[in-house]
Structure 1
Amino acid sequence: MNVYGLTKKQHYHQKKIIDGFVSSSNKVQIKFLNNNLTSSLSPSNKIFCANWIWDQATEGRGFSHKIELKMNDIVNNALAENVDPNNRPHSDLTNYWGLWIARYKAHILTSYLQQNNPWKTQVLPEKFKLKHSPEELFESMNIPNSFTTNASNRKFIGLFVRTLFHHTVFDHIDNVKWSLYEAYEGEFLSPACPLNSLLVIPISPTKIFCGSRGKTVNDGKISLKEVKRINKLIIQNSDNFVFAKNLKMCPY
């Protein structure tokens, strides 16, 4: 029971954006890069989520949620074609791009550590046991606690996410301009996470934000050849897998 409404299934990439790639079956198509196998999975599948590894202060309104709300507005306006390229909040796009990378890397790091050096939860003494988990109570109040090693680890991973976020966006926040491209033909892939400073944020099968350093905004429709070039870059600079609404529609 989660009586305090904590976010335990933590998407490293915003579920709202992944939802934009679902088919009529409410699933997205996955292509695993290490073996080229494919699958169809829900946006809530564990492949898109960390399992309560960073604290609520990092997940909630003080940090991640604030960045995601601004990204929601950008995505909604872009999909509704209510855009003003001359008044685009470029820093908000860069912040979301950095958050995506930071949370994904924290997820991968934690998964590796759990597999190779499992963290064992300490058992609370009987006198500290309450009707509801004290760990969840303090977490819901954003109060640092060390009732369990997992609680301490979440605070550490939360700090790791924020530090990595600031490190990621530091060199990009002031000099990256984001253009919105629409596929005239074909569809875009999305990376599990953009690596190697690949400045892309696909928001639908046919629309993608691409960043460039210090250049002017250049919105517009692009050819199948350009879609293919972008998809190839995404495959080359993604970790683990890419996803799409329909892989057969995504040239690369």
Structure 2
Amino acid sequence: MTFEPPQKGNPHQLTVNQHTFPSASIARFANEKGAVQVLRKASVKHFHAKPTDRIFCAQRVWDQQAEGGFMKGIEDAFQELASAILDDPAFRLGSQHFVVINEFYCLWNIRAQWKMNERLADPSIASAFEVAGLLREYTQDEQEQLEAAGIGYIRPDLTLPSRQIAAPSIRLQLSDSVRMMRGDIWELLQADEGEFVVPDNFFELYAVPLSPTAILWAHGGFPSGRLDRLAVTAINGEAVATSVEYFFARDLFLCPL
């Protein structure tokens, strides 16, 4: 299934390219030109990309209400925390911060899964309810106005946009995933040598890269919070192994693998 593009000019400012890992997080890894170095695993070729690049995004997989609603709330809370951690060398993580990190970590991975999986078909209500027709058939412009306002709708052909179904499914997945992580303890790890790779997901590890030399970690094993080159190599190896489509870094040549 291909995505449904908005009408020309996107007058209602619907988000087409939906980041799995937020552009604000990607930007913390950008070089002096504002780009990160990406390696696409299928081609084994690396290239530079801005945080807004299409490779980091799904295309209208979930609806605007999810994108600008609960997802934005989770992202904003995490970005505020990430900035506080990176700006203050003496910052101490506590249980109130673990909730924020858990939600962000789970949302990142769930969105990555939805991007990787085949897009849902648009469901039809015609056969299920034997609907003869609609009292009102909305134009594309009216449909987009409704989505921008967070209101669901039925198309004239009696189908629903699959993104209206995806959004509540993601919210349920998120709730279940966060509940399973309750009690996990996160710590900040700093690389003394080398830089971190960021995968397109971290399904296999509880980790959230913050910057080229800082990462949030929930596995223990590093009591000092400082990582030598061997430890950075081990984490980067896991990042590369868990990535499906791509991984990136500020400079891949500075990332031990």
TM over 0.5: yes
Q: Distance in 1 between matches of 2:228 and 2:146?
A: 53
- Residue type of the partner of 2:251? N
TM-score (norm 1): 0.84
Matched, 1:248 2:253: yes
Superposition RMSD in Å: 2.7
For 2:171, the equivalent position in structure 1 comes to: 162
For 1:80, the equivalent position in structure 2 comes to: 87
2:141 to 133, 141, 150: 133
How far off its partner does 1:20 sit? 0.8
SS at match of 1:133: helix
Identity of aligned residues (%): 24
Q: Distance in 1 between matches of 2:222 and 2:256?
A: 25
SS at match of 1:176: coil
SS at match of 1:208: strand
For 2:5, the equivalent position in structure 1 comes to: none
After TM superposition, where is structure 1 displaced by more than 4 Å over at least 4 residues in a row? 127-130, 148-151, 215-219
Q: Distance in 1 between matches of 2:39 and 2:144?
A: 36
Matched, 1:9 2:14: no
Q: Distance in 2 between matches of 1:4 and 1:40?
A: 31
Contact 2:198 2:239 in 1 (8 A): yes
Distance 1:185 1:67, change over 3 A: same
CA deviations 1:165-203 (Å, max 9, x no partner) are 22332311x12111111111110000111123x111101
Q: Distance in 1 between matches of 2:213 and 2:57?
A: 24
Q: Distance in 2 between matches of 1:145 and 1:235?
A: 41
Structure 2 unaligned residues grouped into runs of 5+: 1-8, 124-133
How far off its partner does 1:118 sit? 9.4
- Aligned residue pairs total 237
Q: How does 1:45-194 map to 2 (within 5 A)?
A: 45-61=53-69, 63-81=70-88, 83-86=91-94, 89-109=97-117, 112-113=118-119, 128=137, 133-147=141-155, 152-172=161-181, 174-194=182-202
Distance 1:75 1:219, change over 3 A: farther
Bigger shift: residues 27-36 or 135-144: 27-36
Distance 1:118 1:29, change over 3 A: farther
Contact 1:31 1:243 in 2 (8 A): yes
Question: Max radius of gyration: which structure?
Answer: 2
How far off its partner does 1:129 sit? 6.4
How far off its partner does 1:44 sit? 1.1
Distance 1:13 1:150, change over 3 A: farther
Matched, 1:233 2:241: no
SS at match of 1:177: coil
How far off its partner does 1:143 sit? 1.0
Matched, 1:207 2:214: yes
